[in-house]
Amino acid sequence: MPGASGTFYFAYGSNLWLQQMANRCPNSIYIGRAILSDYCWQINQRGFANVVPYSGHNVHGLVYQIDREDEDRLDRSDGVNSGAYSKVYRDVTLFPAQADLQAPTRSLVGDEAGLERAIETSRRRSRRGTLERKSRIVRDVLVYLSPKFIDGGDPREEYIHRVNSGIRDATALGIPREFFENVVRGSIPEQRPPRQMLHRGAGLRRSTTTAPEVTHVEYREPRPAPRQQGSRRDRRSLRAHQDEFRQQGTWNCLRAR
């Protein structure tokens, strides 16, 4: 389904919620789950999710393919021009979804049973009954992060609802529940999904259906991708990015939860 053109985008916050992603980026295509190595997840002082360089830690998320129009929409929704978020390109470990699950995001949330039905169909058609294929390193994946706002904070009330909706979708698509329980739940309390959520500026409608039960293997924190796999330019860029955070004295992004 995905074409040769377009940008791979790594989502780790409220854009884990397929309904929100379909509304914000109507041309987006779901690609699979992924791991961003040497970063950790936080809620910053603005009340939104952020990722901060942290050696040996990993952030789990979903990867979508987006076109130029969708990228412009993300720039606006994430406040790139105002400095709320910045755009960087990082390597991720991608677990590609089975081909029939790599579908336009809108088709996965067409109705309340859209995601559940797509998962059941993909699992049934897979030879091994799995939702994904062999993992691989993917270069230069777009990540939005907030280097100006890296102090810990409390999430905004409306944001809690959206992240919880994203957690339900993400776990249905294979992200280990333990990641959310051990990392995200320190900042995002669990809530039952509301029947209807409206968010000004995002045009959100109904929440995606409660995720079907998915059997996961025992969770083990993956090792960071070997550094020799990146180019010298990539490694210099990562070191410079990490140094920027260290100099501001906020290396421990898990504090102030």
Question: Mean pLDDT for the chain?
Answer: 80
Helices within the chain (DSSP H only): 18-24, 68-77, 105-108, 114-125, 157-172, 177-182, 232-247
pLDDT digits (tens, 9 = 90+) for 9-49: 999 999 999 999 999 999 999 999 999 999 999 999 999 99
Comparing C-alpha atoms, which of 172, 255, 162 is closest to residue 214?
172
pTM of the full predicted structure?
Answer: 0.75
More confident residue, 154 or 242: 154
Q: What mean pLDDT is predicted for residues 173-183?
A: 96
- Is 11 among the annotated ligand-binding positions? yes
Q: What is the DSSP letter of 97?
A: B
**CATH superfamily of the 7-247 domain:** Gamma-glutamyl cyclotransferase-like (3.10.490.10)
* 230 annotated binding-site participant: no
Higher pLDDT residue, 211 or 129? 129
Q: Do the annotations mark residue 13 as ligand-binding? A: yes
Higher pLDDT, 122 or 199: 122
Mean pLDDT of 167-177: 96
73-116 confidence digits (pLDDT tens): 999 999 999 999 999 999 999 999 998 899 999 999 976 667 88
CA distance 35 to 237: 19
Closest CA to 48 of 171, 145, 143, 181: 145
Can you give the residue ranges of every domain in the chain? 7-247
Structure tokens at 100: 């029939």
12 is annotated as contributing to ligand binding: yes
The predicted pLDDT at position 36 comes to 99
Confidence check: pLDDT of 227 > 60: no
Cβ atoms of 109 and 115 closer than 8 Å: yes
The answer on whether 144 is annotated among ligand-binding residues is: no
